[in-house]
Chain A
Amino acid sequence: RKEVEQDPGPFNVPEGATVAFNCTYSNSASQSFFWYRQDCRKEPKLLMSVYSSGNEDGRFTAQLNRASQYISLLIRDSKLSDSATYLCVAPLASSYKLIFGSGTRLLVRP
């Protein structure tokens, strides 16, 4: 089993829709998680950090379910500019190294 797994998508949604991505992780000792956004041919950029049960920032909500070992990212009122690949990330236990999921691609259509 991969340490961090994501549905690759693509998720194709209309503007204004609500969309959710799930990510599962294998290391139950992980305490913090991150969502990065990556645009085509660009570097990954930090979208949200999740240190406890969840985090909310405007239209974006991240939730952590430790019992089931998954993290979700909810995007409300999708915008065309939300089209990107979203990477789920967890730290490797007892280190400052990160494990990246392969990403979920989101396409928001007019």
Chain B
Amino acid sequence: DAGITQSPRHKVTETGTPVTLRCHQTENHRYMYWYRQDPGHGLRLIHYSYGVKDTDKGEVSDGYSVSRSKTEDFLLTLESATSSQTSVYFCAIKREAGYEQYFGPGTRLTVT
């Protein structure tokens, strides 16, 4: 257990509304990641962070922004949600040694 929680776990929202998902970790890891998972596409990286205020884009970053003002929290914001952003969103951390990542329980987001 890597001590990762995500909130909310489920959310239904309307097209055009802003949405923020939160990832919280308790073990002070520097590296944090946001992924989305869709049928037929597998896990795709949205954004990642390598420290407080240090973030970078992944392969599917359009329409998403992130913020990391504290080590323990990594926020993912959909500025104006679209139906194509209906997905399951996973947060992950990487420990300082190695490449392995450990995942939170996920947030299931539906945009209607």
Contact = CB atoms under 8 A, between A and B. Distances in A.
B74 interface: no
Interface stretch (B12-20, B63-71, B77-85, B94-102): B94-102
Interface of A: 32, 34, 42-46, 49, 87, 91, 96-98, 100-103
Interface of B: 31, 33, 40-45, 48, 50, 58, 90, 94, 98-106
A100 B43 contact: yes
Contacts of B42: 87, 100-103
A97 B94 CA distance: 10
- The B interface, classified by DSSP as helix, strand, loop or mixed, is strand
A77 B58 CA distance: 39
B43 A87 contact: yes
A102 B40 contact: yes
Contacts of B40: 102
15 contacts: A32-B99, A34-B100, A42-B105, A43-B103, A43-B105, A46-B100, A96-B50, A96-B94, A97-B33, A97-B45, A97-B58, A98-B45, A100-B43, A100-B44, A101-B42
